[in-house]
Amino acid sequence: MSFRASILTLFPEIFPGPLGCSLAGIALERRIWTLDTVNIRDFGVGKHRSVDDAPFGGGAGMVLRADVVDAAVRSVADGRRLVALTPRGTPLTQARVRDLAAGPGVILLCGRYEGIDQRVLDAHDAEEINLGDYVLSGGEIAALALLDATIRLLPGVMGNVESAEAESFSGDLLEYPHYTRPALWQGRSVPETLLSGHHQEIAAWRLAQAEAITRIRRPDLWARHIASASTAP
């Protein structure tokens, strides 16, 4: 069975976008995964197909209506997880991406304006996810990123499984540096260890590099790595 992605959005023309290219695009053509978009405005109310209204309690901006979003969700609901892409959501992690890739698919709700009426999120037990500590114009770019990260883990998409296993965030460490030909470029040499042919030394060098980079750039991941190592049997 194909991994099915349904996108609820006010801008369906954004999709598939980059997901129609490279590995994701080839997988889409091979129907390893499928994509369907739902225009939330199709479920709008009144002759103008209104999808939003002013927030109760006052404040700037508009809020997507619960009744409109509910109708859009129900049009594709089939037991798959509903994920709302919002700035206040839980940060997306590689572990969550792996979980999604192991399932039948996902329904992605792309927010706009000031947000989505909380009642519809609660009614559908929506999981709120974000990409980082910044605000986008809407959830569409976040949906593209989430799907790209997920699709590449589906069976048959990536040719080299080991590549995925060695990537950043596959564990608690960032990935080590990579080098290729030429061995000498603009006076910069490839580390001698990588040219030695000694696989154990190369593995040790890569681990040391990954640890050093993680410790400097992501102290949060480094702390988690140390904690995991201290509790390992």
Spell out the domain ranges in the chain: 3-151, 171-231
Two tokens at 27? Answer: 């997988």
The interaxial angle of helices 219-231 and 199-217, nearest 10 deg, is 120
| pLDDT per position as a tens digit, 159-200 | 765 455 656 566 789 999 999 999 999 999 999 999 999 999
CATH classification number, 3-151, choose in 3.20.20.150, 3.40.718.10, 3.10.20.30, 3.40.1280.10: 3.40.1280.10
Helix (H/G/I), strand (E/B), else coil: 194: helix
Measured CA to CA, the distance from residue 176 to residue 223 in angstroms comes to: 18
Two tokens at 140? Answer: 């569409």
Residue with tokens 């999709």: 15
CA distances from 97 to 131, 145, 165 (A): 12, 11, 13
pLDDT above 60 for 84: yes
- CATH top-level class for 171-231? mainly alpha
End-to-end CA distance of the chain: 38
**Entry pTM:** 0.89
Closest CA to 110 of 146, 77, 80: 146
| pLDDT per position as a tens digit, 15-48 | 999 999 999 999 999 999 999 999 999 999 999 9
Residue with tokens 């976008």: 17
Measured CA to CA, the distance from residue 19 to residue 21 in angstroms comes to: 5
77 close to 107: Cβ distance less than 8 angstroms: yes
- Please state, for a pLDDT cut of 70, what percent of the chain lies above it: 94
Average pLDDT over residues 44-61: 95
At residue 228 the predicted structure's pLDDT band, cuts being 50, 70 and 90, is: confident
pLDDT above 60 for 4: yes
Residue 77 half-sphere exposure, CB side, CA atoms within 13 Å? 12
pLDDT of residue 171: 76
CA distances from 210 to 170, 175, 205 (A): 12, 5, 9
Average pLDDT over residues 76-81: 98
pLDDT of residue 165: 61
Q: Cis bond leading into 16, ω under 30°?
A: yes
